[in-house]
Amino acid sequence: MTQAVAYRLTVTHLGAQGDGVAPNPGASKPVYVPGGVPGDTVEVDAKGQVVQLIPGPNRAEPPCRHFGACGGCTLQHVAPALYHDWLRDRVLMALGQHDITLPPESIAAPHVSPPQTRRRATFRAVRRGSRVELGFNVERAHRLVDLEECHILNPALFRLLAPLRALLARELTDGHAASVQMTLTDSGVDLTLGGLKRRGLAQDELLAGFAGENDLARISIDTGLGVDVILERRPPLIHFGGVPVRLPVGAFLQATPDGEAALQAAVLESVGKAKEVADLFAGLGTFALPLSATARVLASDAGKVSLESLQRAANEAQRPVKIEHRDLFRRPLTALELKRFQAVVFDPPRAGAQAQCAELARSAVPVVVAVSCNPNTFARDARLLLDGGYRLERLWPVGQFLWSAHVELVARFTRA
């Protein structure tokens, strides 16, 4: 039975998750339109349900055959200029919820990573009969999209999908699943297979042979109780500020090299000529090592293995970096401990750095630089800094996850 159309609405903007938003003057809430783009018209029934979407002028032709099913890209249908504007607006929406405004001239144009530059990805694999399906989940579901093409992955990673299907067909029984984590390092692909049982020498020889045939840097198995490195043909290396750093298994790495470079450039510009810098949630040294070319750096993080890799790299390059193993959520650097620094950089996980920002707000540090992968927790933390007397001076949005609702940023705060 055809639903009766009660009225028409116009999609005016994209919401925080990328859905179209059509204000509804006759209701207390707008109508959210999955797949809607500003300029689209939607026909709505009496219950506020979308009956039909009439495309407007701001849509783009999605390049990938999997669009609409694969959860990896949700905004391929949005015109590029509109998508870039939305990345900026996504940050501004989050700030607005905490009564924070910025003049347009204080916001840099969003940097967006181009297609086929993603250097790390985690896939699911499931054996169905004699075939192994390998790819990303269907959007908002647990079903799998078996990838036949991908416009975000670096081609060096995508080329591994076919041989991986053949390998996993020998490792998985019908109906069983595995995870595949791939990272393209500067010395080759680092591959970790999860969900497999250890089966002894024959399995090790099979995986070692696969690594050799596909020129992998390293291949490992994550059993759920720990990671066993099967073969390391050469150290997986990443360079930060020209310094080679060994990548520990499972360590965090920015999604794209150019996105990483954009974040680093904004951090370096923000820190300026400061000679004593703290890099909090430092990880492998994404910012600590570039900063150490001109400053003495304290790098603090709860990840001991990553910090040790950073320290070895800094020592070999004779860079002035000192590490501190510390859980900054439970034991943030205090205002007194922060006293000696001319600038502080912090790059926390998605949960943000609320406890550390409370201490920064009480400190006298002249420059604070926030790097964030979550505009909502960034806005909450920014409110703490502003209430403590800081001024939000400049902001750089960065879209490393092309065609997704994910946005990162760098923000510079100075003492008012």
Answer yes or no: is 27 within a domain. yes
Answer yes or no: is 132 within a domain. yes
pLDDT for position 139 = 65
Which one has a higher pLDDT value, 1 or 291? 291
Together in a domain, 287 and 391: yes
Together in a domain, 105 and 152: no
Taking the C-alpha atoms of residue 385 and residue 416, their distance in angstroms, rounded to an integer, is: 11
Strand bridging mode 111-112 / 390-399: parallel
pLDDT for position 97 = 96
Q: Is the pLDDT of residue 3 over 90?
A: no
> What is the average pLDDT across 367-381?
98
Strand bridging mode 120-128 / 111-112: unpaired
> What is the average pLDDT across 3-32?
89
Percent of the chain at pLDDT exceeding 90: 89
Answer yes or no: is 65 within a domain. no
> What is the average pLDDT across 339-351?
97
Q: Is the pLDDT of residue 302 over 90?
A: yes
Tell me the residue length of the chain. 416
Answer yes or no: is 337 within a domain. yes
Q: Is the pLDDT of residue 234 over 70?
A: yes
Q: Is the pLDDT of residue 59 over 80?
A: yes
Residue 290 has φ and ψ, to the nearest 5°, of -60, -40
> What is the average pLDDT across 8-32?
91
Together in a domain, 264 and 370: yes
Together in a domain, 202 and 268: no
Measured from the Cβ of residue 320, the count of other Cβ atoms closer than 10 Å reads 15
Together in a domain, 130 and 105: no
Answer yes or no: is 263 within a domain. yes
| pLDDT (tens digit per residue) in 89-104 | 999 999 999 999 999 9
Confidence of residue 224 (pLDDT cuts 50, 70, 90): confident
Q: Which domain holds residue 11?
A: 7-54
Confidence of residue 2 (pLDDT cuts 50, 70, 90): low
Which one has a higher pLDDT value, 296 or 7? 296
What's the token pair of residue 35?
């797949």
> What is the average pLDDT across 167-192?
96
User: Residue 300 is part of a domain; what is its CATH number?
Assistant: 3.40.50.150
Answer yes or no: is 62 within a domain. no
**Which residues does 393 contact at the CB level (< 8 Å), separation at least 6?**
106, 412, 413, 414
Confidence of residue 4 (pLDDT cuts 50, 70, 90): confident
The whole-chain average pLDDT of the chain stands at 95
Nearest by Cα to 307 from 330, 333, 326, 334:
326
Residue where a domain stops, chosen among 203, 234, 265? 234
One-letter amino acid at 291 equals L
pLDDT for position 26 = 78
| pLDDT (tens digit per residue) in 308-331 | 999 999 999 999 999 999 999 999
Confidence of residue 225 (pLDDT cuts 50, 70, 90): confident
**Which residues does 96 contact at the CB level (< 8 Å), separation at least 6?**
none
Residue where a domain stops, chosen among 199, 234, 269? 234
Together in a domain, 126 and 252: no
Rounded (10°) angle between helices 375-387 and 80-96: 40
Q: Is the pLDDT of residue 1 over 60?
A: no
> What is the average pLDDT across 35-59?
91
> What is the average pLDDT across 2-30?
88
Answer yes or no: is 375 within a domain. yes
Query: How many helices and strands, by DSSP H and E, does the chain display?
Result: 9, 23
What's the token pair of residue 307?
């910090």
Together in a domain, 157 and 252: no
User: Residue 177 is part of a domain; what is its CATH number?
Assistant: 2.40.50.1070
Together in a domain, 144 and 253: no
Told to judge if 70 belongs to the known catalytic residues of this protein, a careful annotator would answer no
Measured from the Cβ of residue 186, the count of other Cβ atoms closer than 10 Å reads 14
| pLDDT (tens digit per residue) in 352-363 | 999 999 999 999
Q: Is the pLDDT of residue 142 over 80?
A: no
Q: Is the pLDDT of residue 5 over 80?
A: no
Catalytic residue among 70, 150, 357, 373: 373
> What is the average pLDDT across 142-151?
91
pLDDT for position 140 = 62
pLDDT for position 149 = 97
Together in a domain, 400 and 252: yes
pLDDT for position 141 = 65
Together in a domain, 38 and 159: no
Nearest by Cα to 146 from 136, 155, 154:
136
pLDDT for position 25 = 87
| pLDDT (tens digit per residue) in 66-89 | 998 988 899 999 999 999 999 999
Domains: count for the chain: 3
Answer yes or no: is 50 within a domain. yes
Q: Is the pLDDT of residue 112 over 70?
A: yes
User: Residue 28 is part of a domain; what is its CATH number?
Assistant: 2.40.50.140
Together in a domain, 197 and 249: no
Together in a domain, 143 and 222: yes
Element (H, E) at 157: helix 155-158
